[in-house]
A and B are shown apart, each in its own frame.
Chain A
Amino acid sequence: MWWQQYKKELMSHRGEILLIAGALVVWTAFLLSRLDVWLPQVVAGTYWVPMGFLPLWALWTSVQLYRQEWRENTAYLMLSLPARAWVITSAKLAALLTAVVGFVLLIAAGGWLVLSRTGVLEALAASPEFAMIPREWMVKMALFAGAVMLAGFAAVALAAQFAYVFSRLFSRFRGLVMVWTWILLVWLVGRVSELGWLLLGWLPDIYVRSLHIVFGIPEFALVKIESGPIVAVALFFGGLYTLLNAMLERAVEV
Chain B
Amino acid sequence: MATVVFERVSKSFGRVRAVDELSFTIREGTILGLLGPNGSGKSTMLKLIAGLYRPDAGRVTIDGQEPSPKTKAMVAYLPEIDYLYGWMTVRQTLEYVSAFYADWDRERAEGLLKFMGLDPEARVSRLSKGMRARLKILLAMSRSAPVVLLDEPLSGIDPTSRSRVLRAIVSEFRADSQTVVMSTHDVVESEALFDEVLFLKDGRVALTGEAERLREERGKSIQELFEEVFG
**Residues of A participating in the B interface, judged by any CB pair closer than 8 Å:** 1, 3-4, 8, 11-12, 72-77, 79-84, 171, 249-251, 253-254
Contacts and interface: CB of A to CB of B under 8 A. Distances in A.
B120 interface: no
A59 B14 CA distance: 32
B54 A254 contact: no
A4 B52 contact: no
B52 A254 contact: yes
A167 B138 CA distance: 34
Pick the 9 closest A-B CB pairs, nearest first. A82-B73, A76-B83, A82-B72, A4-B99, A254-B52, A81-B100, A76-B79, A77-B83, A80-B77
B50 interface: yes
A74 B85 contact: yes
Contacts of A12: 85, 87
Nearest to B75: A80
Given A80-B51, A254-B53, 4 more contacts: A11-B88, A82-B70, A82-B101, A249-B69
A73 B83 contact: yes
A68 to B, nearest CB: 10
Contacts, number: 64
Interface of B: 13-14, 47, 50-54, 68-70, 72-73, 75, 77, 79, 81-88, 95-97, 99-101
Nearest to B76: A80
Contacts of B68: 249
A81 B72 contact: yes
B143 to A, nearest CB: 11
Contacts of B53: 253-254
A83 B100 contact: yes
A74 B82 CA distance: 8
A4 B96 contact: yes
A150 B54 CA distance: 36
B99 A171 contact: no
B69 A83 contact: yes
Contacts of A11: 87-88
Contact of A79 (B52, B84, B86): B52
A80 B81 contact: no
A75 B51 CA distance: 12
Contact of A253 (B52, B70, B88): B52
A133 to B, nearest CB: 47
Contacts of B14: 171
Nearest to B52: A254
A84 B84 contact: no
Contacts of B72: 80-82
A82 B100 contact: yes
Contacts of A73: 79, 81-83
A81 B52 CA distance: 10
A254 B84 contact: no
Contact of B84 (A3, A74, A83, A251): A74
A81 B99 CA distance: 10
A74 B73 contact: no
A171 B15 CA distance: 12
A147 B3 CA distance: 50
28 contacts: A1-B99, A3-B99, A4-B95, A4-B96, A4-B99, A4-B100, A8-B85, A8-B96, A11-B87, A11-B88, A73-B79, A74-B84, A74-B85, A75-B83, A76-B52, A76-B81, A77-B97, A80-B75, A81-B100, A82-B69, A82-B73, A82-B100, A82-B101, A83-B100, A171-B13, A251-B54, A254-B52, A254-B53
